[in-house]
Structure 1
Amino acid sequence: MTGPARLVLATHNAHKLGELRAILVPALPGLEPASVVSAREVGAPEPVEDGVTFAENALIKARALAAHTGLPAVADDSGLSVDVLGGAPGIFSARWSGRHGDDRANLDLLLAQLFDIAPEHRAARFTCAAALVTPDGEEHVELGHLVGTLATAPRGEHGFGYDPILVPAGRDVTCAELAPEEKNRISHRGQAFRALVPAVVAVLGREPRG
């Protein structure tokens, strides 16, 4: 790290850390990538995510990280909601198969559940809640959504999670087939974090620089 951390992201996922840095850093004047660190890098424990909405879980993670580090903390909770499943997996997206973070197992189970569902009934959406919490208790939450349909098999090498099966509305490729820059431009996570940027800018403008 070339300088002191100024913002900590509540993720232990290297793929997500890279994606969030790519979204946030260009939008935050004077902020270097090295000053945006992950929960893993600061040795923060992962809190129990027992909220019942994406926003509640994002706040749980950001609050815990801000308390642990004494730094402004940004967290997100996101997932896939499938219309024909009544909005599931929803907040259980990362552990739909029973194993937290097993992307392939989650994909395989979901596709098996939907194997005989016709294309016109495969509507789904990604949702992201992005939260900022400061050590003194200031809190902001923003939401983003990406609507689309589900492919019948994974396609693409980019992204993570359910990216290989969601085809955004108006596209004929999955999120995992989009270039990372294009995905970040339209994604639920990109929308939510860009909406959060003004609050982050305001908070960092008040933070002392090391």
Structure 2
Amino acid sequence: MKQLCFATNNKHKLSEVSQMLEGKYELLSLQDIGCHEELPEEQDTLEGNSRQKAEYVWQHYSVSCFADDTGLEVEALNGAPGVYSARYAGPQRSDSDNIRLLLQSLEPHENRKARFRTSITLLLDGKEHQFEGTVEGTINKEWKGNKGFGYDPVFVPDGYDRTFAEMSAAEKNAISHRGRAVQQLVAFLKAL
């Protein structure tokens, strides 16, 4: 079985993607390859950040890898928090602080349309491939559910009456932005 590193320290993301790869690849974490430093995210786009993280791992560890960056883009906030989603309320990267600031920012707005977007950069033997997944939805006025992470307690995907935080991992993975991007990645890897 081939090895592939997912360039993340986020255990939630690692768990989600491991389930989706279904044993086709041995998924390694940053810790597994001995990478303990914080990966750089200095770009102003999701694509740029995912590329920068994947390139860092490839250049420093010579391991085929993929990295993602995800943002919540809220229509009434001109696409914010976007690339700054994880640190929207500050460098402490607190999910609850981010949600509180988002709900506060949306108070004067009727329009609560939003979308999650994930960009994945795969560096396979040094060659780059890009994948993207999106899911449209709305921002709920109150927190619901205790599963998931990030903005999941307030994001209701179109066609559903529950937040991502009220769904099982399998339900969320089937329709989520990251799930859609990873499905493209998996299809690409299986076709090799």
TM-score (norm 2): 0.92
Q: Single out whichever of 157-166 and 87-96 deviates more from structure 2.
A: 157-166
Aligned to 2:61: 69
When structure 1 is superposed on structure 2, of 35-44 and 82-91 the one drifting more is 35-44
Cross-structure match for 2:139: 150
What corresponds to 1:20 in structure 2?
17
Of 33, 46, 52, 2:38 maps to 46
Contact 1:140 1:199 in 2 (8 A): no
Task: Say if 2:11 is the partner of 1:11.
Answer: no
Query: Structure 1 counterpart of 2:186, which letter?
Result: V
Runs of at least 5 residues in structure 2 that lack an aligned partner in the other structure? none
Q: In the alignment, is residue 80 of structure 1 matched against residue 72 of structure 2?
A: yes
- Measured in 1, the distance between the counterparts of 2:31 and 2:75 equals 34
Answer yes or no: is 1:183 the counterpart of 2:172: yes
Classify the secondary structure of the residue corresponding to 2:22.
Answer: helix
> CA–CA distance in 1 between the matches of 2:91 and 2:2?
32
- The answer on whether the counterparts of 1:7 and 1:73 sit within 8 Å (CA) in structure 2 is yes
Q: What one-letter code is carried by the residue in structure 2 that aligns with 1:162?
A: Y
The structure in which a higher percent of residues are strand is 2
For the residues of structure 2 that align with 1:5 and 1:97, how far apart are their CA atoms? 39
Q: Give structure 1 stretches of 5+ with no counterpart.
A: 204-210
Cα distance between partner residues in 1 of 2:2 and 2:9: 16
Quick check: 1:113 aligned with 2:110? no
User: Which residue identity does 1:178 align to in structure 2?
Assistant: M
Residues 100 and 134 of structure 1: CA distance in aligned 2, closer, same or farther (over 3 Å):
farther
| Alignment root-mean-square deviation, CA | 1.7
Q: How many residues align?
A: 191
Q: Determine which structure has greater relative contact order: mean sequence separation of CA pairs < 8 Å that are 6+ residues apart, divided by chain length.
A: 1
State the AA in 2 paired with 1:113: S
Take 1:40 and 1:47, find their aligned partners in 2: how far apart are those partners?
12
Query: Do the aligned partners of 1:5 and 1:37 also contact (CA within 8 Å) in 2?
Result: no
Tell me the secondary structure at the aligned position of residue 20 of structure 2.
helix
Does structure 2 conserve the Cα–Cα contact (< 8 Å) formed by 1:132 and 1:200?
no
Q: Return the TM-score normalized by structure 1.
A: 0.85
Residue identity (%): 40
